[in-house]
Structure 1
Amino acid sequence: MQSSLDVVVTGVATRLMGVDAASSLKVSVQVMADLVAHFDVDVSFLCHHDHRIHATRLIAKWPQRADVAGADPLEFIYFADADPMFAFAENLRAPTVFRAEAASSVVCAPLLSGDVTTGVLGFVKHGAREWSVSELNALMAIASLFAQVQARVEAEEQLRYLAEHDDLTGLRNRRALLADVDARLAPGQPSPVAALFIDLDRLKAINDYLGHTAGDRFIQALADRLEAATGEHDMIARLGGDEFVVVPALPMSTDEAEALAHQLQSILRERVAIDGELLTRTVSIGVALGVPGIDTTTDLIRRADQAVLTAKAAGGNHVSVFSADMSLTSEYRTDIELHLQSVIETGGLFLRYLPEVDMRTGDVVAIEALVRWQHPTRGLLPPASFIAVAESINLAGELGRWVMRTACADFAHWRSQGLAADTVLRLNVSPMQLVSEGFVDSVASTLREFGLERGSVCLEITESVVVQDIETTGITLTALKQAGVQLAIDDFGTGYSVFAHLKALPVDLLKIDRGFVTDLGTNPDDLAIVRAIIALAEAFGLQLVAEGVETEAAARTLVLHGCYRAQGFLLSHPLSGEQMAALLAKGRVPVHFSATPSV
C-alpha cells in the first residue's frame, strides 16, 4: 500500500515539475483525473484562496463540467457565506475528512506557504469512504506539490505583469510600447502609424514645492486623463519620469495626429487638485509617423523624441511634428561602416574585463569580456556604438570570433599562471553569431585550441534573441551545451516571452538587467521585479547575477533577497588584461556589505 502511494506521489512530482503558467491548468486537471482513478473517488477539485477578500476560487476540477447550464457552485465562494466545510478550509493546516458518515465523504488537504493556507486540494466520494493515515499523508505531500506550482505560477505571472506595466500609473511601460509598435510596423499593417511623445514641462517645480509624493499623484492624474481621452485600443505608455507615448490604434495622417496632440495638450493642461493646491503644468508633444514594412520601432520613437526635444527647445508648451531637418546626420554610421573591417584586421580593437563578484565574500567568480574600439578621431567607443553596425554589414561573426579568441587566449594564459582556476569566462554572443553556420563548431574548436575545460566558458545571449526563433535557438543552445559551454540569458526581465521556455532550454544562469538594479534600495517598483526574478530563478534552479550594481544600497538589497553575485562599478570598473590578472592574484574584491540581515 505504502509503496504504491509513494509511486503516486513521485509521479505527481514528476508531472508538475516543469509546468508554467501556460501549462499549469491542463497538467493539473490531468493529474487530478489520475488521482480520482487511483483513490477510487468521484470528484477532485483544486481551489486557491484570496485572503484579502476572504474567499476561495475554483482553479481546476475533475471530472470537468460539460453541457451544464449555470456556474459551478464551487467557482467562487466567500468563506463567510460558505458551508462549514469550506469555512473551515480557509485556514486548514492538515488533511481533514468531512461528512464521513453522511451520503458522501469529502477530504481536503491544504496548500501551504509558510503559515498561510493558500488553497485546498479536495476529493469527493459519493458514499462512504475511509481514508487511512498513509493516504492522508500522501494527499498532504501531493497538496504541497500543487502549492509549489501555485507559487511558481504566481511569481511568473507577477513578473509578466511587472515586465510590461508601469507600477505608478498602471499604464504600459517602455518594453510593452516597443513590442506593440513592432507589431504595428510589421509589413502589411495599416499605414501610417502615429506616435505622440509627451513630456511635461518643469515637473520638478511640483516635486520641489510639494514633494515627490505630490509629483507622483500629479503624474497619476495625468495618466488617468490620457486613458480617458484616448481610445480603448490605443497604446498609452509611460517611459519613466514625466514622459509618455501615445500610439493611436488607427492610422492617422500628419494633420490628424497633430490635431490629436493639441487636443491632449489642452486636456493635460487642466488643473489638478493635490493637497488643497490647484496645480497645472504645460506639456510639450512631439509627433512622428512611421510606415509599416519600411520604418522600424527605433526610427519612429526616435523621430517622436527628436520632435519633442524641438518643442521643449522652443520654450515648451509646443507641439512639434518631426521633419527631415531634425534628423541626425548619418556621418557617424558611415564612418563606422568604412573603418570597422580594417580595425578588426589591424588591431584597433581591445578587450576590457569586468569581474563578477560574490558580494558575501568578495571572491571573483567570473569575468566578462567587453570589446572596445580606440577610434583615431572619435576616441574610445563602447560596443553599443558599433555592434549594431557590424551586424548590419555582416561583420558580427568576424568581430565575435576575434573577441572569443582574444579572451580565451588571455583566460588560458591566466590559468597557466595558476590564476582563475575556479573562475568562469563570460562572452557575449550577437544574434547574427547564434544563427551563423558553423558557430557551434567554431566555439568547440576555440575551446580545444586553448585547452579550456568544459564549463569554464559561458556564452551570454540576450533574452530577445532567445525567443525570435525558439525552435532553432533551442537546437543551437543544446549543441553549444554539448560542446562544453555554460549558457546565460543576458538582460533578463526586459521581456517575458522566454518564461515559458526556461525549463526546456539548457540555460544555466540569468543576468538581471541593469535597468532593474541601478535604483535598488530607493525604487520599490524595481525591487518588486527583482524579487520576482529571484523567485523565478529559484523555481527553475538557475544561477542568478545582477548587472549594474553601483550603490551599496543596491548591493545590500540584492544580498538581503538572495541574489549574491553581481557586476557593477561599485565592485569594479572594467579592467585591462594586466589589471585583471593582478585582481585574480589577489583573489577577491573588498566588500563591506556581505552580512546578510536576518529576515
Structure 2
Amino acid sequence: MPRRTLDSLVTEVASELMGVDASTMVAATERVLALLIEYFDVDFSYLRHTDRDRRATVLVAEWPRRVEVPDPDPLQTIYFEDADSVFKALEHATEPFLITSADIDYQATIRRATGIPNVTSAAVPLLSRGESTGVLGFIKAGDRAWSTRELNVLKAIAALFAQLQARVVAEERLRYIADHDDLTGLANRRALLKYMEERLQAGSPGPVAAFFLDLDRLKALNDFLGHTAGDNFIRTLSARLREHLDPADMIARLGGDEFVIVPAKPMDAVAAELEATRMQQLIGRRVTVGGESVSRGASVGVAVGSPGETTVADVLRRADHALLSAKSRGGNGVAVFTDAMRAEFELQDDVELNLRGAVADGSLVLHYQPEVDLRTGRIVALEALVRWQHPTRGLLPPGAFVQVAEATNLAGELGRWVIRTACAQFAQWRRHGLASNVVIRINVSPVQLVSLDFVENIEDILRRHDIDGSSVCLEITEHVVVQDLARTKVTLRGLKRMGVQIAIDDFGTGYSSLSHLKALPVDAVKIDRGFVQRLGANPDDLAIVKSIVGLAGSFGLGVVGEGVETAVAARTLVGLGCYRAQGFLIARPLPADEVEAHLAAGRIPLDLELPGMSRAPKV
C-alpha cells in the first residue's frame, strides 16, 4: 500500500469526521488520532477543548488510551490558573508551538499521566473566529523535529476539529434549548416526559411521586409590578427550588406559573405530602422584585405512580386533578390524589367527551318539580330541571354536567335545548287543558344571559308555541347579576317587554346583589335551599330567611322557599309570610308524564297542621 501524502492525510481526516455528532465524536476522534500517530511516528496524541466558563482545558480523546489512569487524572481537566507554563499558554494560543525536554514542569505532568519520560511535543490550536477553542497535541519520547509543511497540515486538520467542535456545540445548544425552559433554565415539558418515561419503566425503583405546582394569583403581581418583575419573581423561585431540592430531582417549568417536580428518590403518598408541604412553604417566602418585597402562595397537587404499572400520562393527569382540587379549596394548599378524586374526574372527563352528543341524540330529558302554595297545596309553578340519561352511568343530575357544559362552551347550546323543550312540553299541557294557571320556571346560564340574541330567541320560542310571556319565569343566580350588571339590565328589560317574569335563584348566597334588587326588573327571589333546610334547627338561618322575606316584601317581590324537606321548615316559612315553596316534602322532580297527574288534580295534598288554615283535600 503506497504511503499517504500530507494532502491525502487531510482528505482522509475530513472524510472520517464528516457526519460525526456528539454521540460519535470521541470514537471518531480516536480513529483520527491513531491515524496521525501512525503517519507522524509519535507515541501519544490527544484532543482538548477549552471551557471558557471554567477557564480550563478538558481532555476529549487520547490515543492510545492509557492503561493505568491516575485518580484523579491530572490530564482530564486542567485549570489554566493552576497549570504549568505550557498548559497556561494553551488558553490563548493561536499558532502551533513546540515543547522541548527543557520544559521541566510540563515533563513532570506528562510523565505522571502517561509514564513517558523526556518528551518533545507539538501543540496545534483549534481556532474559531480567531480565538483558541482547544488544542490538538502530539507527544514523542525523545526528540522530534517538525517541518513547516507538517505543521501547516496539522493546522488544517486542527481546523477540521474546530469545525466539528463548533457543530457539536451548536447541536448541544439546540438540544439544550429543546429540553429547557428559556426563562428559568429548568427542564421543559419535553425533558420532563422523557425523564418520567425512564422512571416509570418496569423494574425501576418506586413509587414515583410527582408534584404539580401552581402559583396563586401571579396575575395580580404582573398587573401591579409589570411582567418583567413577574418574570424575575419566577426566576428567583426557580433558583430557590434548584438550591433547596436534591440536585438529582427533576424540576420542570411547563410555562406561565406551572411547575412539575419529580423527586429522584422513591416516595410514597405520605412522604410526598410532607415534601409538598415543605415545597409550598419554600415558595411562600418573600422575594424582592421591582423594589417591592412580595410573596405568592402556591397550590400543589400530588400523585404517586408505580413503575411498570402507571403511565406518565396517568401520573401527570392525577397530579393535575389534585392541583385543581387544591385550588378549588381556595388555593395555597396541598392535595393528594385519591380514589374519590379519581371517580370525580373520570365522571368529568366522561361528561366532557360525551355531552355534546347528548344534546343532539335525545339522551337529555327534563324533569319538573312542582312549586305550591303551602296553605292550600295548589300548584302554582313547575321548575324544569335537566337530566342526562347517560348510557353507562344512568340518570345524571344537572350538578354532574352543567359546570362542565359551562367550562366547555356548551352551556349556551344546552340552555337553548332546555328552553325549547320546556316550552314545547308546557304548550302541550296547555293544549290538553292542564297547567292553565301554572308558571313554567326555567334556569338560565350566564352564557345565555349575556348573548346578544337571547331576548330574540325567547320571543321566537314563545311565539312558536303560542305561550304568553307572563306564564314563563326565567331564573338567574345572584352571581350572574353581579358579574355583568349593565348587560343583565339590558337583557332583563327586553324580557320584561314580553311580560316574561324574572326570579333570582339561590338567593342569600351572594353579597353584592341586595343593592341591585331595586334597579333590576325582578319579580321574585328564591331563598337558597341551604337556609331553608335547617329552619327549625338553626337560629342563624331563621334570621337570614326572615330578613330575606322582609326585604322581598319591602321591594314588592314574590318570595319562594327552596329545599323544603320537613314540615317544620314548611310551617316556619308560612309563619314568616313565605307561602310558596318547593322541595322533597312536597314533590321530587318528576318526569313529564308523572307530573300530569298532579296537574290534573291542580294541587298536592299536604298535612302541615297550620293553625287557622284549611288543609288541602286529599286526592
TM-score of the two chains, using structure 1 as the length reference: 0.50
Match of residue 330 from structure 1 = 350
Deviation, 1:255, is 4.4
Query: CA separation of 1:157/1:208 partners in 2, compared to 1, >3 Å: closer, same or farther?
Result: same
Deviation, 1:253, is 4.6
Match of residue 28 from structure 2 = 27
1:452-496 Cα shifts (integer Å, max 9, x gaps): xxxxxxxxxxxxxxxxxxxxxxxxxxxxxxxxxxxxxxxxxxxxx
Conserved? CA contact 1:269–1:282, under 8 Å? yes
Equivalences, count: 339
Query: CA separation of 1:34/1:192 partners in 2, compared to 1, >3 Å: closer, same or farther?
Result: closer
Match of residue 162 from structure 1 = 177
Match of residue 7 from structure 1 = 8
Distance (Å, rounded) in 1 between the aligned partners of 2:91 and 2:248: 39
Distance (Å, rounded) in 2 between the aligned partners of 1:10 and 1:278: 63
Match of residue 366 from structure 1 = none
- Give me the CA root mean square deviation: 3.5
Match of residue 263 from structure 1 = 278
Deviation, 1:24, is 1.5
Match of residue 593 from structure 1 = none
1:528-578 Cα shifts (integer Å, max 9, x gaps): xxxxxxxxxxxxxxxxxxxxxxxxxxxxxxxxxxxxxxxxxxxxxxxxxxx
Match of residue 226 from structure 1 = 241
1:4-49 Cα shifts (integer Å, max 9, x gaps): 1122222211222132222212221232122112111222222222
Distance (Å, rounded) in 2 between the aligned partners of 1:71 and 1:191: 34
Query: CA separation of 1:57/1:199 partners in 2, compared to 1, >3 Å: closer, same or farther?
Result: same
| Aligned 1:101-116 pairs, distance under 5 A | 104-116=119-131
Distance (Å, rounded) in 2 between the aligned partners of 1:251 and 1:314: 28
AA of the residue aligned to 1:30: R
1:144-196 Cα shifts (integer Å, max 9, x gaps): 11112211222222333333333443432211221222233334555554322
AA of the residue aligned to 2:213: I
SS at 1:29 equivalent = helix
Match of residue 37 from structure 1 = 38
2:199 corresponds to 1:180? no
Distance (Å, rounded) in 2 between the aligned partners of 1:321 and 1:54: 47
1:560-599 Cα shifts (integer Å, max 9, x gaps): xxxxxxxxxxxxxxxxxxxxxxxxxxxxxxxxxxxxxxxx
SS at 1:171 equivalent = coil
Conserved? CA contact 1:101–1:128, under 8 Å? no
Match of residue 92 from structure 2 = 91
Deviation, 1:282, is 1.1
AA of the residue aligned to 2:216: D
SS at 2:172 equivalent = helix
1:115-157 Cα shifts (integer Å, max 9, x gaps): 2111111223333333233322211111111112211222222
| Aligned 1:12-161 pairs, distance under 5 A | 12-69=13-70, 71=72, 73-79=74-80, 82-99=83-100, 104-161=119-176
SS at 1:330 equivalent = helix
Distance (Å, rounded) in 2 between the aligned partners of 1:51 and 1:229: 28
| Aligned 1:309-388 pairs, distance under 5 A | 309-322=324-337, 323=341, 324-327=343-346, 328-330=348-350
Conserved? CA contact 1:307–1:326, under 8 Å? no
Query: CA separation of 1:184/1:84 partners in 2, compared to 1, >3 Å: closer, same or farther?
Result: closer
Query: CA separation of 1:38/1:284 partners in 2, compared to 1, >3 Å: closer, same or farther?
Result: same
Distance (Å, rounded) in 2 between the aligned partners of 1:6 and 1:200: 63
Deviation, 1:86, is 3.8
Distance (Å, rounded) in 2 between the aligned partners of 1:336 and 1:183: 38
SS at 1:94 equivalent = coil
Query: CA separation of 1:268/1:11 partners in 2, compared to 1, >3 Å: closer, same or farther?
Result: same
SS at 2:35 equivalent = helix
Query: CA separation of 1:265/1:82 partners in 2, compared to 1, >3 Å: closer, same or farther?
Result: closer
Match of residue 307 from structure 1 = 322
Conserved? CA contact 1:46–1:122, under 8 Å? yes
Distance (Å, rounded) in 2 between the aligned partners of 1:318 and 1:94: 63
Query: CA separation of 1:231/1:121 partners in 2, compared to 1, >3 Å: closer, same or farther?
Result: closer
Query: CA separation of 1:240/1:134 partners in 2, compared to 1, >3 Å: closer, same or farther?
Result: same
Distance (Å, rounded) in 2 between the aligned partners of 1:87 and 1:233: 34
Deviation, 1:111, is 0.9
Deviation, 1:82, is 4.7
Distance (Å, rounded) in 2 between the aligned partners of 1:321 and 1:266: 17
Distance (Å, rounded) in 2 between the aligned partners of 1:68 and 1:309: 55
SS at 1:329 equivalent = helix
| Aligned 1:479-558 pairs, distance under 5 A | none
SS at 1:263 equivalent = helix
1:48-98 Cα shifts (integer Å, max 9, x gaps): 223445442332233333225455554444445555544444333333444
Choose 200-209 or 143-152, whichever is displaced more. 200-209
Greater RCO, 1 or 2 (C-alpha within 8 Å, sep 6+): 1
Deviation, 1:3, is 6.1
| Aligned 1:205-224 pairs, distance under 5 A | 205-224=220-239
Query: CA separation of 1:88/1:300 partners in 2, compared to 1, >3 Å: closer, same or farther?
Result: closer
Query: CA separation of 1:5/1:100 partners in 2, compared to 1, >3 Å: closer, same or farther?
Result: farther
Distance (Å, rounded) in 2 between the aligned partners of 1:292 and 1:104: 55
TM-score of the two chains, using structure 2 as the length reference: 0.49
Which structure would you say has the larger Rg? 2
Conserved? CA contact 1:190–1:251, under 8 Å? yes
Deviation, 1:236, is 2.4
SS at 2:5 equivalent = helix
Deviation, 1:285, is 1.7
Deviation, 1:256, is 4.1
AA of the residue aligned to 2:195: D
Distance (Å, rounded) in 1 between the aligned partners of 2:356 and 2:120: 76
Gapped runs of 5+ residues in structure 1? Answer: 338-377, 379-599
Distance (Å, rounded) in 2 between the aligned partners of 1:84 and 1:189: 49
Distance (Å, rounded) in 2 between the aligned partners of 1:160 and 1:301: 24
SS at 2:285 equivalent = coil
Choose 101-110 or 27-36, whichever is displaced more. 101-110
Deviation, 1:298, is 1.7
Conserved? CA contact 1:99–1:105, under 8 Å? yes
Query: CA separation of 1:279/1:295 partners in 2, compared to 1, >3 Å: closer, same or farther?
Result: same
